[in-house]
Amino acid sequence: MSDLTPWARELDRLERMLGQIGPDEVCCEGLTPRQTAILRTLAAQEGARLSDLAQASGISPSAMTRVLEKLEKQELVQRVRGSQPDGRAAMVRITPRGRQVRRRIDQLMQDRIRVILDAIPAAERAAILRALATFNSALERAGCCCAPVAPPLSRPVLARQGGDVHNSSEEKP
């Protein structure tokens, strides 16, 4: 057995778990993960240009338009056409109903995280969080199997606060 075999097995398992709900499958509150992420972005800022949302989501502007049309039909977002100085760009705002749905989804996510944490022995949580941060950084650098590999970045620094471990904005080599 190669030393890569257990890694391949566990990475395949992780991919299956994370892939159970694809970006366009309905999940919480009748929204897709992609729609949920867009609501999160809009809730964090008081409006965004459609093109900026598309870029942040990694989809084309036309695909973003289709996603936003579905969210508009549910009265979760509102597009304000011609809101930019050039008169062409559309600004997207989350509606009060959209904020309400976003809060319910956030609560569902918090509940799920609590269930996951409760399944991990308390003494192991900080080490697992550090390992997860390191693993996520490695995944980000590795990219897709067909994409060129990015140069190594410095590892994220995790700071302890009140016994918990948090990502720090500082990076150290």
Over its length of 173 residues, how does the chain's per-residue pLDDT go in tens digits?
Answer: 568 887 788 887 887 777 666 656 667 788 888 888 888 888 887 778 888 888 888 889 899 999 999 999 999 999 887 655 665 567 899 999 999 999 998 898 889 889 989 999 999 999 999 998 898 888 888 876 655 554 544 444 444 444 444 444 444 43
Phi, psi of 116 (to 5 degrees): -65, -45
Q: Which domains does the chain have, with CATH numbers?
A: 16-119 (1.10.10.10), 124-173 (no CATH)
Checking DSSP bridges between strand 90-94 and strand 164-172, what pairing results, if any? unpaired
For the record, the structure tokens of 135 come out as 């693993």
What's the DSSP call for residue 2? -
What is the Cα–Cα distance from 104 to 47, expressed in whole angstroms?
A: 20
Residue pair 119/98 in contact by the 8 Å Cβ criterion: no
**pTM exceeds 0.85, yes or no:** no
Closest CA to 132 of 159, 158, 170: 158
- Are the C-beta atoms of 21 and 37 separated by less than 8 Å? no
